[in-house]
Homo-oligomer: A and B are copies of this chain.
Amino acid sequence: MHPDVEAFHTYRQRMNELILSKQNKVINRLFNLDTNTYQDGALPAKVKEMLGLVASMVLRCDDCIKYHLGKCKELGVTTDEMYEIFAVANIVGGTIVIPHTRRAAEYWEALQQ
């Protein structure tokens, strides 16, 4: 695993454990609901992860982008498909999405290794 991918997962997991340990019911249920959102249903998980990715891009959340990039990679999204998702995000969200697209493109390369 590329060190950037590993660093992302390690920090994410450590902090999720900290947050969940406080046992705030609303937060813990939201984390649980978040996982359920991307399960196969009327739409396949792959499409849902693409939806989660484009939403994260237009809202410009780098960590959310990394998470969904990883899931998209696992579920077989190709580079051509990925850049079409990037295209929708940049057209809808405008050029302020470009710096996030740069970081997404870099992380996408890291995920190929």
Interface residue from B29, B33, B80 paired with A42 (Cβ < 8 Å): B80
Residues of B within 8 A of A79 (CB): 22
Q: What are the interface flags for A89-113 relative to B under an 8 Å C-beta threshold, 1 for contact and 0 otherwise?
A: 1111111111101110110010000
Q: Are A96 and B93 in contact (CB under 8 A)?
A: yes
Residues of B within 8 A of A41 (CB): 80, 84
Q: What residue in chain B is nearest A103 (Cβ atoms)?
A: B15
Secondary structure dominating the interface of A:
helix
Q: Are B55 and A109 in contact (CB under 8 A)?
A: no
Given A19-B102, A22-B80, A55-B93, 6 other A-B contacts at CB below 8 A? A18-B109, A24-B86, A30-B90, A30-B91, A56-B96, A94-B97
